[in-house]
Amino acid sequence: MLKEEKLPAEARFYRCTRTAVAAFTHVLCIAFTVFLVFLSRPGSSLFSWHPFLMTLAVSHPPILPHGSPVRKFAHKTKGRIHWVLQCMCVTCAIAGLVVIVHNKNVNDKPHLTSWHGLLGLITVCVIGLQSVAALPLIYHPLAKGWSLAKLKRYHAASGLVTYLLGCATLLLGLCSAWFTAAVSDYTWYLSALCPALSALVIMDQVSRTYTAKKRLQS
């Protein structure tokens, strides 16, 4: 057997840096979710369930090629974990939407009066469509005439768009009167770092991973 070619020092440093940034992103998202739990105190009011559920729905990053805690697991195991997280995401997103709609009805407030509300509704719809569109990856006969490799590329691209929509909605939510009144300026900037950094890391890893695969296949 041929020995694996050793990567240059610059390439190893770059790979280690990407892994460290991705790992830090996971830790930051967990810390942000825990912070929102303490801030919103789910159960203290009807509205309190909305930020809690929506944070659970969109704050966790997907399984990444670099830096993910499960990256060394078997492909089938990672697929199952991904589906569990996706089901949790869809459930929390729909529940969070139902809560805020009911809360506005109870308090006789108008719906969809902010960019956060409009983009949030679009994001929830896209999350649902993304999940349904991913079914052919499990039941390949549903997509006759489509190769599994092409389905994975489209799924990754649409998943990236969906996650960016979620991050944008989360950022707009941080601009709401409820959040800005509950935190200081420094805390707000630290909180905004979570969706912003997650979006950048995932854009980088997804684009580079599938670009590299395309080069290898060409």
Q: Output the pLDDT for position 53.
A: 93
For residue 140, what is the DSSP state? G
- Alpha-carbon distance of 177 to 201, in angstroms, equals 28
Nearest to 202 by CA among 169, 171, 168, 161: 161
Per-residue pLDDT tens digits for 176-209 = 999 999 999 899 998 998 888 888 888 887 777 6
Per-residue pLDDT tens digits for 52-95 = 999 988 877 665 555 566 667 777 787 788 888 888 889 999 99
User: Is the Cα torsion angle 102, 103, 109, 111 positive or negative in sign?
Assistant: negative
Query: What are the C-alpha distances in Å from 70 to residues 23, 62, 78, 163?
Result: 11, 11, 7, 19
> What is the phi/psi pair of residue 60, to 5°?
-80, 135
Distance of alpha carbon 79 from the chain centroid: 16
pTM: 0.82
- Alpha-carbon distance of 197 to 34, in angstroms, equals 17
Task: Cite the DSSP H helix spans in 107-174.
Answer: 115-133, 135-138, 148-174
Query: What are the C-alpha distances in Å from 76 to residues 70, 72, 81, 149?
Result: 11, 11, 9, 16
> Where are the chain's structural domains?
18-217
For domain 18-217, is the CATH number 3.40.190.10?
A: no
> What's the burial of 9, exposed, middle or buried (CB within 10 Å: 0-12/13-18/19+)?
exposed
pLDDT band at 136 (very low <50, low <70, confident <90, very high): confident
